[in-house]
Structure 1
Amino acid sequence: MSSRTGRAYLAKTTLEVMEVGQYVNPRGETVAITAEMAACNAGSACFEPETLTEMRDEVLRTPAPFTETAFQLENETTLEGAWSPAADATTGRIGVLNFASAKNPGGGFLGGSQAQEESLARSSALYASLNLFHKQYYETHRRLRSAFYSDRMIYSPACPVFRDDAGSFLKSSYQVDFLTSAAPNAGAIQKNEPVHVSEIPQVFMARMDKTLALFAAQGCQTLVLGAWGCGVFRNSPDLVARLFSEFLQSGGPYFGRFKQIRFSVLDRSEEKPILRAFTNYFARSSV
């Protein structure tokens, strides 16, 4: 869906799907998602930084369940990356990182904005889960004076996904666990907090650590990650790729804690600088 107006219309119809708990697929069949939505919302939680630190310590005290972690790097959207393992019954529980807005649930998806979070919100029941934590997550971040935001995270388990990237309804829905976490807004920090720019890598490292710990604690075997915070937040793709590599590759604290990890790094530019940054750390399976 290329136009802002068209995407806003899709967002409106997504709200309608969540309200009635069903949609009509391309075959004309009614697909119910009421039970899946109810289970997702009931299991959703907003985690405070202190809780996540304790969780991280507990996760890292336990032996890694796998002897190795398989990596894939694809030039694709997050939805494409999530669909592939979802179609494979051997992948286990799938965790998808939502590159979140710290201040608005779903980012600007209601107005037709186009970024990773907006795509996920248009295509799933994620928005309903996020809205459960308006005060604890979004209002808290709005009160903060710093674009570093915080390590608070929202976890939305087994959330139904019912659209593809084009906005078409799927024949049947599938479920993934969404983890919603905001990267530091490097662009805003550079503009408004320049004396703290040097702190970005350390803050990002701590947030990524907690993110991976939460996925592991929830029992995810497969993760769909990507260029977190490398769009409008203007974080360095090399920094993000390097930090993921240090945590996940052999010798890192999360190596073997996931069966497979797929990096969905969408880069439509001619020189592909974001994709190339990830290629420097992870074997590229396709471009």
Structure 2
Amino acid sequence: MNLAKIAKETLKIVDQGYYEIDHKVHSLKLSRDEIDEVIVVKPELVRELSEEAREYEGEGIIEVVGKDSFEAARSLKDDTIVLNFANALNPGGGFLKGANAQEEALCRHSTLFFSIGNKKASEMYHYNFENLNGFDSEYMLVSPRVEVFRDAQGVLSEDSFITSVISYAAPNLNGRAGHISKRYLMPVMKIKIRDLLNVCIHFNYRNVVLGAWGCGAFGHDGQEVAKMFYSILVEEEYRNHFDQVVFAIPTFASSRKNYEAFEEVFHQTQS
């Protein structure tokens, strides 16, 4: 089955509330209201959070794993949030057309699209479209309950699980940010990473699944992005506000270089 057909099947599963494996019916665990729920995090709140006291002291474990994001989340505790490398203008990116970047895979394998693609969530996309600049906004979407019912290969699972997802767009070097000098872009990327972690802390998530954010389809250099995350998590000690920080980066050919970059940068910090 091609990826566009899998996407359509995912929409059908969520609409009907169940799927079948070998003629056995598996009902979704979440209600439609729970699936559609989304918290729109506005730039004003993001700016306030930069000054918010961060009291929780966690274990601060950092791992780099050769897995996809949901595969990594499955093994973590309930208070886990997964970073979706969001498209700033279109919910799910090219999900419905069969594209295969990280966001599209998350939408194919779960109920995520119904949270980030609803009317309430559209506030973020409308704002980004009307305020055209290469940096994109500080808007984020938190989907508190996302049910994952496919494995990393897109196969329906007999054991679905529920996690949270935060959708945030990195500047797209292959799109609107392509004309921006690194001199201006790199400091903005660091601010965005810090803002992302502040929002996760604010909503009391103790475990976070990150990745090579902005690399791949958006064109950022894996080594540079890894060093930015290292600077904030280790040198600024943001790691201590989480129990576990996992960088989930698949090791297939197109992302192997990014996996190796993060593994190299975080090698000495991993338990």
What TM-score, normalized by structure 1, do the two folds share?
0.86
8 A Cα contact 1:74 1:285, kept in partner: no
- Between the aligned partners of 1:16 and 1:271, the Cα distance in structure 2 is 30
Residue among 188, 213, 223 paired with 2:198: 213
Kindly tell me: are residues 279 and 72 of structure 1, through their superposed partners in 2, closer, same or farther at Cα, counting changes over 3 Å? same
Aligned to 2:267: 283
- Between the aligned partners of 1:257 and 1:23, the Cα distance in structure 2 is 38
Residue among 226, 238, 256 paired with 2:223: 238
Kindly tell me: are residues 20 and 216 of structure 1, through their superposed partners in 2, closer, same or farther at Cα, counting changes over 3 Å? same
Unaligned runs of at least 5 residues, structure 2: none
Aligned to 1:38: 33
- Between the aligned partners of 1:271 and 1:136, the Cα distance in structure 2 is 31
Residue among 127, 140, 151 paired with 1:153: 140
Aligned to 1:138: 125
Deviation at 1:92, TM superposition (A): 3.8
- Between the aligned partners of 1:271 and 1:25, the Cα distance in structure 2 is 31
8 A Cα contact 2:26 2:158, kept in partner: no
8 A Cα contact 1:26 1:171, kept in partner: no
SS in 1 for 2:158: strand
Aligned to 2:7: 11
SS in 2 for 1:141: helix
Kindly tell me: are residues 217 and 205 of structure 1, through their superposed partners in 2, closer, same or farther at Cα, counting changes over 3 Å? same
SS in 2 for 1:187: coil
8 A Cα contact 2:239 2:245, kept in partner: no
- Between the aligned partners of 2:114 and 2:71, the Cα distance in structure 1 is 22
User: What is the CA deviation profile of residues 152-188 of structure 1, one whole-angstrom value per residue up to 9, with x for unaligned ones?
Assistant: 0000012111111222211132111100000011233
8 A Cα contact 1:94 1:222, kept in partner: yes
- Between the aligned partners of 1:165 and 1:15, the Cα distance in structure 2 is 18
Partner amino acid, structure 1, of 2:54: T
SS in 1 for 2:193: helix
8 A Cα contact 1:186 1:200, kept in partner: no
User: CA RMSD, aligned part only?
Assistant: 2.3
Deviation at 1:125, TM superposition (A): 0.8
Kindly tell me: are residues 271 and 115 of structure 1, through their superposed partners in 2, closer, same or farther at Cα, counting changes over 3 Å? closer
Kindly tell me: are residues 177 and 56 of structure 1, through their superposed partners in 2, closer, same or farther at Cα, counting changes over 3 Å? farther
Aligned to 1:74: 65
Aligned to 1:47: 41
Kindly tell me: are residues 79 and 40 of structure 1, through their superposed partners in 2, closer, same or farther at Cα, counting changes over 3 Å? same
Residue among 63, 68, 74 paired with 2:55: 63
Residue among 150, 162, 166 paired with 2:149: 162
- What fraction of aligned residue pairs are identical, expressed as a percent? 29
Kindly tell me: are residues 52 and 253 of structure 1, through their superposed partners in 2, closer, same or farther at Cα, counting changes over 3 Å? farther
Please identify, of 22-31 and 9-18, the stretch whose mean Cα deviation from structure 2 is larger.
22-31
- Between the aligned partners of 1:278 and 1:215, the Cα distance in structure 2 is 21
SS in 2 for 1:220: coil
8 A Cα contact 1:94 1:176, kept in partner: yes
- Between the aligned partners of 1:184 and 1:270, the Cα distance in structure 2 is 20
SS in 2 for 1:145: coil
Kindly tell me: are residues 169 and 150 of structure 1, through their superposed partners in 2, closer, same or farther at Cα, counting changes over 3 Å? same
Deviation at 1:114, TM superposition (A): 0.5
Aligned to 1:105: 91
Give the alignment of 1:266-281 within 5 angstroms: 266-269=250-253, 272-281=256-265
Paired residue total: 269
Unaligned runs of at least 5 residues, structure 1: 86-90
8 A Cα contact 1:64 1:255, kept in partner: no
Deviation at 1:101, TM superposition (A): 0.6
